[in-house]
Copies of this chain bind each other. A is one copy, B any other.
Amino acid sequence: METIKAAVLEKSNGKICVKIRSFPEPVLEPGAVLLKTLYSEVCGTDVHLMQGQLAGVPYPIIPGHINVGVIEKINGTVFDIEGNSFRAGDVVTFLDVHETCHTCWHCLVAKASTRCPQRKVYGVTYSANEGLLGGWSQKIYLKPGVKIIKLPPGISPEDFIAGGCGAPTALHAVERAGIKLNDFVVVQGSGPVGLNAAIFALLSGAGSVAVVDPATRRLAAARAIGVDHAIDAAAAKDRIAEIRRLTNQRGADITIEASGNPKAVVEGLKMTRDNGTYVIVGQYTDAGDVAINPHLDINKKHIDIRGVWGIDYSHIYKSVHLMAKHGERFRWRDMISKTYPLEKVTDALDAVKSLEVVKAVIAPNATAKEENSR
């Protein structure tokens, strides 16, 4: 019987380390699907998982929540949301969120399914003891009911994984932002979420999109997708002044925080115009408090501030289709800085942590020599 290799984050003596483990080929329940992994990604959340900064993670886990693979086996017939059945050989992705209950107060009354307490996330809240439930593995077990999407024509596996979790997350943020035609949009941070937020802001008809980031490499990526302004002013004060200069001293109509730095929130509020909208999507882990002035920054500004947590099916569905349509314009695949085999996931984590890459990708079935470094 074949064995399957996966990279596992384990906790021992209070420390978290990466191990390569072997797993047996799983037996499929009715409705389950087995994927051969093409690519998984390394995102900021994976760095936080490595550092033990997320609550409620059932270590050992197989990381990798956004993935793309080829269907190897299906037990029975499985359909997509449009009623088409899947076949072996299909190149697919799937919604990492599973087991949203549709029976709790958050699901049924608040209709805020991303706050459902029952939801589980592949690569984050499933234990490796429960199976191949993360993408840093040669194969992934898709439980019955996992929502699978076949990649439509126009989007390659490389495009998809380059978008990674950043694409649907950014789409959710842009939906919450309510961008209107001709709006001036600032995106703070030019990492995967920020770049995708800039792309979706451009697609929403923003009059101008400005990206603010201190890292030269990331700003180059922002320029490559065609933002109107890629701003690397040295200090917060200069950055705010630059946005004000570009907006006739008013500030941006909409600012999207995608940096993960709590200080960006203070700065972003000051970059946004009176009665504008400030969307916070980058603060996915607790990096401490910041000082806000409720009078100047919120009440007198008559501002809207909107937090964005998680994604639901609609976000990945729409982002896949938008990527398929606009793949030639935005060339997501070019955002991949480097592709790593399973044996090098620690290097990949380090690269993401140091912000030296735009996007780091895992290819679990690649041989152990690195490929595709840009």
Interface residues of A (CB under 8 A from B): 81-82, 100, 102-106, 108-112, 114-115, 145, 147, 171, 174-175, 180-182, 200, 203-205, 207, 248, 250, 253, 257, 262, 265, 273-275, 280-296, 298-310, 312-314, 317-318, 321-322, 325
Contacts and interface: CB of A to CB of B under 8 A. Distances in A.
A106 to B, nearest CB: 7
A275 B106 contact: yes
Contacts of A175: 180-181
Given A205-B205, A303-B305, A304-B306, 10 more contacts: A82-B105, A102-B102, A105-B248, A171-B181, A181-B204, A280-B298, A300-B309, A301-B309, A303-B307, A305-B305
B174 A325 contact: no
Given A115-B274, A200-B205, A298 B305 contact: yes
B182 A321 contact: yes
B299 A282 contact: yes
Nearest to A291: B289
Q: Within the oligomer, what is the number of copies of this chain?
A: 4
Given A181-B200, A286-B295, A289-B291, A307 B318 contact: no
A109 B262 CA distance: 31
A250 B81 CA distance: 13
A181 B203 contact: yes
| A81, A100, A248: most-surrounded residue (chain B CB, <10 A) | A81
A265 B262 CA distance: 17
16 contacts: A106-B275, A108-B312, A112-B275, A171-B181, A181-B203, A181-B318, A181-B322, A205-B205, A207-B325, A283-B299, A286-B295, A287-B294, A289-B292, A299-B308, A304-B306, A304-B307
